[in-house]
Structure 1
Amino acid sequence: MARRGAPQSSGISFRQLNRTLKRGDIDPVYLVVGEEVFLRNKAIEGLRGVVCGEDESNLAFHRIDGKLGKMAEFLDAARSLPLFLQATDRPCQLVVIRSFEPGTAAESELLAEYLDSPVSATCLVFEAPTLDSRRASAKLLTNRATKINCQRIESTAEVRRWIENSANARGFSMAPGAIDYLLEMVGLELQQLSQELDKVKLFAADRESMSANDLEKLLGRSRSHSVFELTDALVSRRAVSAVQVLNRLLDDGEEPVRLLAMVSWVVRQLITACDLSSRGCPERELLSQLGGRWNQRRVIAKAAAECDLGQLEELLVRCSESDVAVKTQRGPGSRGVLEGLCRRICAA
């Protein structure tokens, strides 16, 4: 059944949304917002399953690009029902505005009119990674639509629980060591973790619990994983580990030029974090300006706070100067250049 209660601006979690949908409670207007694209997609997928049911014609599902369309177009779609659909007290069509960006004041007035009298047969969803809270349309949706919070999960403990629950939902369990291995391989990105869990599900078949050894046999230690190990060691300033991983990668046939690019990337991240930190940038904003896995960004920020900006900039110059040497020298020559850079970064 559709609900008309006034939503709280603080919003609800993806898990809370699932609980309400299982009860058959569907609100007329939703705001799905947050940096975690996996959760945004799953929220829309859940709404589609409940609203559209087993409709394979897609006539009850409409997706509109929020960057290209206008508010009038969005609301016309919400008010217009396909001929085969009959207006009911329960939403039977889903209209999703992807990558919504708040528009003009006039458009916010149109939105306010719709929110005063939403179409009961339509579930209208506005989706975006972030919204400018100063814009009138953003304020209206935050305060009057049902807000689904899809923020990136930053806590390793929370991601561990998510992995446990996701594995159980797929019909298998994972030993603590297996979860550790998966986190080491993939990091905290839910989309990648979900894809790996799908692979594990095919292998798990009749097993009661998956161990770390099971996952290593299935997923292996990929070269990209070793590259992650190198960047992690550099960011954590563990010189011995960094050189060991570097040499392993070179022995496995990794191109020195690609490894130099990864080393240079670490230096640039440290420079960005050091510069922003010195200017008093709030932590959340600082982390959003960095690249890499979210937990790694925190390590970068912490390491940068202890670095000298001038010294880091000199390191970046050395990385640039090393480019020619790495491209022209083979074997021990390029290896020595890269080892030297790794040690300098860890000592910065």
Structure 2
Amino acid sequence: MAPVYLLLGEEVLLREEFVSRLLSTLLPPGMETLNLDILSGGEATSADIASRCRTIPACAPRRLVLLKEADRLRSEVWDATVAYLDAPSPTTCLICVADKLEHGHRGLKRIEEVGKVLRFALPRDAEGRERQCQQWMRQRARQQGKSLTPEAERLLLTLQGPDLLRLSQEVDKLCLFVGERQEIDPEAVEALVGQGRVRGIFELTSAVSRRDLNGALSCLRHLLERGEEPLGMLGMLARQLRLLVRAKELLAQSSPPAEISRLLGVPRPFVSEILEAADISSLPRLEQGLARLLDVDRRLKSSGGGQRLFLELAVIDLCS
């Protein structure tokens, strides 16, 4: 056991699952109330971390201190934490969790020297993210005695984007929804998610492909009013553009609609819309659109507000 772990990355679900496994491994059952302290980086003081870490374990060989939002620690609290790590308690494991720490941050450097830094992030490239999401969905379903068909996996990605938290919620609901059936197919995904949401996403893509600005903004606003998150919508839109690229390749190979439906994971009622959109969209324009959405993704993640405006401007740009 290292005296300190730093869990870095914006994939909250992966971090939380690792923390859960670490706690169950290091703490005997029933010892959580006696030997686990949970602190928040926005509230912790200079004395909090060292004093909690130097507390003697009660009826157990070790105790744990979980520091959430470590990236919100004030400078003087980091100073005290780094000083503690010069002589950490041999019976305490300090677990720091943060979305991001700048390269060269003194806390990051010190933890790298005396403990372990673990990073939780999906691959940067879109195909890599989608592959990892599909692998993760299969594993999640398998843990509950179910299996996802490849078409169901692709449809879920189309509807939710490469967002592990949202995908986990949908896979869990689908496992309950299918009851005693072992296999989860696209029909189950459509039935659970709802035809309205499925149609709304494909209508948005179709309007963007036709450069129908009014129609695209109307679809976008309708989806946002129904509670869709701007960042999630951006991921869905980017995936739809990648589907159009793949559809153009399949059209060039003279693949029949049924085969295209299977390979893309698109419900058959919407295949004609995808093929029509692919036919009227040039490959350079699709690639430019994906580059534009990547830029908007960076802006959305770094901005404190105005996410809806950024997304609407991106749709206007795609339709121009």
| Band the TM-score falls in, shorter-chain normalisation | 0.5 to 0.7
Deviation at 1:66, TM superposition (A): 0.9
Matching of residue 238 in structure 1 with residue 209 in structure 2? yes
**Contact 1:291 1:297 (C-alpha < 8 Å) held by counterparts:** no
**Contact 2:65 2:95 (C-alpha < 8 Å) held by counterparts:** yes
Alignment length, in residue pairs?
Answer: 251
Shift in alpha-carbon separation, 1:35–1:199, aligned structure 2, 3 A = same
- Paired AA for residue 34 in structure 2: L
**Contact 2:70 2:96 (C-alpha < 8 Å) held by counterparts:** yes
Matching of residue 215 in structure 1 with residue 189 in structure 2? yes
DSSP 3-state at the match of 1:59: helix
Shift in alpha-carbon separation, 1:293–1:344, aligned structure 2, 3 A = closer
**Which residue is 1:177 aligned to?**
151
**Which residue is 1:278 aligned to?**
none
**Which residue is 1:198 aligned to?**
172
1:1-348 matches, within 5 Å, as 2=1, 27-55=2-30, 58-81=33-56, 84-86=58-60, 88=61, 91=62, 93-101=63-71, 103-104=74-75, 107-108=78-79, 110-154=80-124, 155-223=129-197, 225-229=198-202, 232-233=205-206, 237-239=208-210, 292-294=233-235, 296=237, 302-303=288-289, 345-348=317-320
Identity %: 23
Deviation at 1:304, TM superposition (A): 7.9
Q: Equivalents in 1 of 2:43, 2:287: separation in Å?
A: 36
**Contact 2:10 2:99 (C-alpha < 8 Å) held by counterparts:** yes
Q: 1:171-190: CA deviations, max 9, x gaps?
A: 11111011112112211111
TM-score by length of 2: 0.64
Q: Equivalents in 1 of 2:95, 2:166: separation in Å?
A: 25
**Contact 1:172 1:204 (C-alpha < 8 Å) held by counterparts:** no
- Paired AA for residue 146 in structure 2: F
Deviation at 1:63, TM superposition (A): 0.8
**Contact 1:153 1:188 (C-alpha < 8 Å) held by counterparts:** no
**Contact 1:233 1:242 (C-alpha < 8 Å) held by counterparts:** no
Q: Equivalents in 2 of 1:231, 1:148: separation in Å?
A: 38
Structure 1 spans left out of the alignment, 5+ residues: 3-26, 267-289, 308-340
Shift in alpha-carbon separation, 1:343–1:122, aligned structure 2, 3 A = closer
- State which structure, 1 or 2, has the greater radius of gyration over its C-alpha atoms: 1
Q: Equivalents in 2 of 1:85, 1:256: separation in Å?
A: 54
Shift in alpha-carbon separation, 1:60–1:156, aligned structure 2, 3 A = same
Q: 1:290-323: CA deviations, max 9, x gaps?
A: 785447569799428689xxxxxxxxxxxxxxxx
Q: Equivalents in 2 of 1:141, 1:134: separation in Å?
A: 11
**Contact 2:5 2:94 (C-alpha < 8 Å) held by counterparts:** yes
Q: 1:56-103: CA deviations, max 9, x gaps?
A: 762222110112213431121111135x334x3xx3x22111101354
Deviation at 1:230, TM superposition (A): 5.1
**Contact 1:181 1:215 (C-alpha < 8 Å) held by counterparts:** yes
Indicate the structure with greater helix content: 2
Q: Equivalents in 2 of 1:46, 1:294: separation in Å?
A: 29
Q: Equivalents in 2 of 1:75, 1:303: separation in Å?
A: 50
Shift in alpha-carbon separation, 1:34–1:292, aligned structure 2, 3 A = farther
DSSP 3-state at the match of 2:145: coil
Q: Equivalents in 2 of 1:163, 1:152: separation in Å?
A: 14
Shift in alpha-carbon separation, 1:215–1:344, aligned structure 2, 3 A = closer
Shift in alpha-carbon separation, 1:214–1:304, aligned structure 2, 3 A = closer
Which region of structure 1 is more displaced relative to structure 2, 121-130 or 208-217? 208-217
